[in-house]
Homo-oligomer: A and B are copies of this chain.
Amino acid sequence: MVRISPLSGFPEWLPEGRAVERAVLETIQHTFELHGFAGIATRAVEPIEQLLSKGETSKEVYVLRRLQAEEGEEGASEKSLGLHFDLTVPFARYVLENAGRLAFPFKRYQIQSVWRGERPQEGRFREFTQADIDIVGDGTLPFHAEVEVPVVIAEVFARLAQLGVPPVRIHVNNRKVAQGFYEGLGLSDVDGVLRSIDKLDKIGPERVSALLQEQNGASAEQAQACLDLAAITGTDAGIADRVLELGVRTPLLDEGLDELVRLVEAAGRRVPGAVVADLKIARGLDYYTGSVYETTLVGHEQLGSICSGGRYDSLASDGRTTYPGVGMSIGVTRLVSRLLSADIARASRPVPTAVLVAVTDDESRPASDAVAALLRGRGIPADVAPSAAKFGKQIKFADRRGIPYVWFPGDEAHQVKDIRSGDQISADPALWSPPEEDLWPRVTAAMERS
């Protein structure tokens, strides 16, 4: 017999945990669709060379091989498939493959598993679900798309608050601000400076200053200016003033500041309090070309970003047309894992069933089946007791699953019992409905229920 044990990095939930995840996914999907994003799904695999073109994640890729291939039937083309490690690479490929059949700007969402062969740790998994939105244009993409994406994400989390999810802060920066500032300062190793600045939270300003001087060719003054820039946060035009007070000015910096201010001001009107400019955000700025986003769960900042993204001037290109894009990706598994481990959100029951129809004796099972069918026909999730045990045992069966109602069929009059209160009333299966809040399992803040 094969030994059974969980695999580290491949999380699975019990039915009650899956119910929480499902509620989170449905809220995400519903919000994406309200904003006009069309759902697509891409295959789980891509040619390895496609996955490696991004470079730095190459080590995390899972490569596929058919077991049969070991026995000498290996096809050359099949050697080169790997599991996607994000949904951006497959989406870029999908856009190129279907460009002639898509209407641009194309707004799509995609909710799927991705795989990374990383060392598993808290909030970091080998298989996890991402929920992505992207807006992609053919040739051009207006700046307001860079506002729309974080606004949609802020709205997702505003709706998730109903499930008990804490509020989020979306931290934004702009590649043009960083690059324009560093270049204006006389530092040419922009990506190197970004890598050092990215270590701020981990190693603190003094060691970052040392790094900037030792590795990125900065003087002590230049390093201090970089740290001063990184310290700026805000939600209005004041951020531009504070940056300009540092005494650096370039056209690129001006353009970046204009975009950054437009972003936080527009977001401030549409989703107040959710989006804040944070000029120390450096991760991703080496490949994003405009706005960049990171999202923290308030009170759970050490979990890291649960939704990141940014703008690419070239999400994809087929040589003739370049497709700029902007998108964000919610780390659903990281979020749900925390909701469950910290007991933040809970499902009201682990099964969909609202009503358990009792079975009086084996001969009358068809009568119980008929009651359940009537209820289901009216949209009420119903199950039939598995055996004609004593009613007390059938009630216990419902209780163990959190099923709120037990139905007792009768030749003439039926009875339905709310097993929480013990209230039992006569009822007609063609007419009776449970209260709206009992119809389907609900996911709510755990606190509310304790």
Q: Chain A residues in contact with chain B, CB under 8 A?
A: 1-2, 4-7, 10-15, 18-19, 21-22, 33-45, 47-50, 53, 58-69, 71, 78, 81-83, 93-94, 96-98, 101-103, 105, 107-108, 113, 115, 117, 127, 137, 142, 144-145, 266, 269-270, 317-319, 350-353, 365-366, 369, 373, 376, 379-383, 386-387, 397, 400-401, 440
* Minimal beta-carbon separation of A405 from chain B (angstroms): 12
* Minimal beta-carbon separation of A97 from chain B (angstroms): 5
Q: Please name 22 pairs of A and B residues whose Cβ atoms are closer than 8 Å in the assembled complex, sorted by A.
A: A4-B96, A10-B45, A14-B98, A14-B101, A15-B39, A21-B41, A33-B440, A34-B352, A35-B381, A36-B351, A36-B381, A38-B352, A45-B127, A59-B66, A59-B71, A60-B68, A62-B66, A67-B117, A103-B350, A103-B400, A137-B386, A269-B366
* Minimal beta-carbon separation of A1 from chain B (angstroms): 6
Chain B residues within 8 Å of A144, by CB? 365, 386
User: CA–CA, A389 to B339, complex, Å?
Assistant: 45
Contact status of A58 and B67, CB under 8 A, knowing A10-B45, A15-B108, A37-B352: yes
User: CA–CA, A6 to B22, complex, Å?
Assistant: 31
User: CA–CA, A49 to B350, complex, Å?
Assistant: 31
Contact status of A47 and B318, CB under 8 A, knowing A40-B18, A66-B63, A142-B386: no
Query: For residue A137, which residue of chain B has the nearest CB?
Result: B386
Instruction: Give the number of times this chain occurs in the complex, counting copies.
Output: 2
The answer to whether A94 touches B12, judged by C-beta atoms less than 8 angstroms apart, is yes
* Minimal beta-carbon separation of A183 from chain B (angstroms): 29
The answer to whether A18 touches B39, judged by C-beta atoms less than 8 angstroms apart, is yes
Tell me what chain A mostly uses at the interface: helix, strand, loop, or mixed.
mixed
User: CA–CA, A328 to B244, complex, Å?
Assistant: 66
Chain B residues within 8 Å of A379, by CB? 34
User: CA–CA, A101 to B13, complex, Å?
Assistant: 11
Partner of A41, one of B13, B142, B269: B13
* Minimal beta-carbon separation of A378 from chain B (angstroms): 10
User: CA–CA, A71 to B59, complex, Å?
Assistant: 9
The answer to whether B2 touches A53, judged by C-beta atoms less than 8 angstroms apart, is yes
The answer to whether B376 touches A38, judged by C-beta atoms less than 8 angstroms apart, is no
